[in-house]
Amino acid sequence: MLDKADGQIFTGNVRLVHAVGMHARPAVKLTKLAKKFEAQISVRVAGAPEWINAKSVAKIMAMRAAHGSTIEIKASGSDAEAAVAALVDLVASDFPDGAG
């Protein structure tokens, strides 16, 4: 669906260092941060068949990403590049307090 400049897709990969994986608190932080962006953002555990809406806490929880897994992020839209960078940073820095 490439339409105009907005159609460009940005991607990123980041390892989930959080000790117990993508559980409630990290999931809440990730979706809160994702919602700050206009871009459409999807995530998945590396290699998983389905991409998941990064703004849905229920789906992020259901993804059951384990400690040490790699999270793939892709985004399209006006602020997609910044969105990917921010989310990669959040996961890489282990969901610090005050973030998201």
Catalytic residues: 23
SS3 (DSSP) at 14: strand
For residues 31, 54, 82, 47, the Cα torsion angle rounded to the nearest 10 degrees is 140
* Residue 27 binds other proteins, judged by CB under 8 A: yes
Q: How far is residue 45 from each of residues 15, 81, 90, measured CA to CA in Å?
A: 10, 20, 16
Which residue matches tokens 């985004």?
75
Residues 8, 11, 13, 20: which binds other proteins (CB under 8 A)? 20
Among 41, 45, 57, 91, binds other proteins (CB under 8 A): 57
Total of residues contacting other proteins (CB under 8 A): 26
Nearer to other proteins, 3 or 97 (CB): 97
| Interface pick for other proteins out of 33, 45, 55, 86 (rule CB under 8 A) | 55
